[in-house]
Amino acid sequence: MLRSAVERLTWRTDVLREGLIYLSENPTARRFVRRAPGARTMARRFVAGETIDDAMNAARALNQSNMSVTLDYLGESVRNRDEARAAAEMYLQLIQRIVNDQLDANVSLKMTAMGQDIDEGFLDENLGRVLDLAQQNDMFVRFDMESSAYTQRTLDYFYRLWNGGRRNIGVVIQSYLRRSAGDIERLNQDGVRVRLCKGAYKEPASVAYPEKSDVDANYVKLAQMLLDHGTYPGFATHDENMIRAVREYASKIRRDPSTFEFQMLYGVRRDLQQKLAAAGYRLRVYVPFGEAWYPYLMRRMAERPANLFFIVNAVVRESPFRFLLGK
């Protein structure tokens, strides 16, 4: 009976996750939610705000709590040259502000926000300016990984930059992809800094593990590969089982905690963030900001459906039906 109840709960969670991923990609749902009263306030739990000042304020507060930061200007799948140029300009401002404010922070970006889907030469132009300024200021830049349709393209482009002498760059590898062990083996050999996450896009079973248990098992396997041979890996997870596995294996092989870090999303498991920082582990918080918060928010809920309850609570508190909560 217990097993049957667990299976039903797992099925419902999977259905919810698939529904949220679908909504993240649906333009009609995006327009509806962005116009909904209180939607921006609701999103502020997980997004620092829409402006660069909002991002700076969030980063400063986290630094004061002994947490490092990576800042991400939200946007992806850009096919308009003006929008891609605007994203590059935002990152130039962002890097300069980090330097001027002396923050413990770096930046994360998506290649599709810089024009990857427009033209590779155009991507070179936009991204090159950002990487040049980051390199001049000894700042690290992380290339976020998107859906599996972009995995090989992103790694190929990364290696073109890496082999051209760029060394202030790193990538993200997703444990739900079947190919990831091979990718990490190569990245480890070349000394590339890797952020390991589970992944939050809808993928076919031929490409990604459909079962959470398999994704988790692969995460542990890949984490051990990174702890064995990786260059300052980042373990991006809010799953206490994954965190425990990383800590135990690092202790087993006597890997110094200063040679890796945990990473968590802004607004998610803040209790756990504080706990890890207090325990002496390096912790970096991924702080997103910008107007393109809707798809990001949907995928965060898909990754961890419990986040949905935070958002529902926020919506009700600002709605005409808030009396239902006694507010």
Q: Which of 285, 284, 310 is nearest to 297 (CA)?
A: 310
Sequence-ordered alpha helix ranges (H) in the chain: 2-24, 27-35, 39-43, 52-64, 81-100, 120-136, 151-163, 180-190, 212-229, 240-252, 270-278, 294-303, 307-318
Q: Which of 258, 287, 289, 284 is nearest to 273 (CA)?
A: 284
| φ, ψ of residue 303 in degrees (nearest 5) | -65, -40
Which residues are annotated as catalytic? 144, 195
Residues near 55 by beta carbon (within 8 Å), at least 6 away in sequence: 48, 49, 71, 73, 94, 287, 289
Answer whether 106's CB lies under 8 Å from 234's CB. no
Encode 176-193: b = buried (16+ Cβ within 10 Å), e = exposed.
bbeebeebbeebbeeebb
> Rounded to whole angstroms, how far apart are CA atoms 82 and 131?
19
User: Residues 82, 88, 90, CA angle at the centre, nearest 5°?
Assistant: 100
Answer whether 90's CB lies under 8 Å from 288's CB. no
User: Residues 51, 55, 60, CA angle at the centre, nearest 5°?
Assistant: 145
Residues near 282 by beta carbon (within 8 Å), at least 6 away in sequence: 68, 257, 258, 260, 261, 262
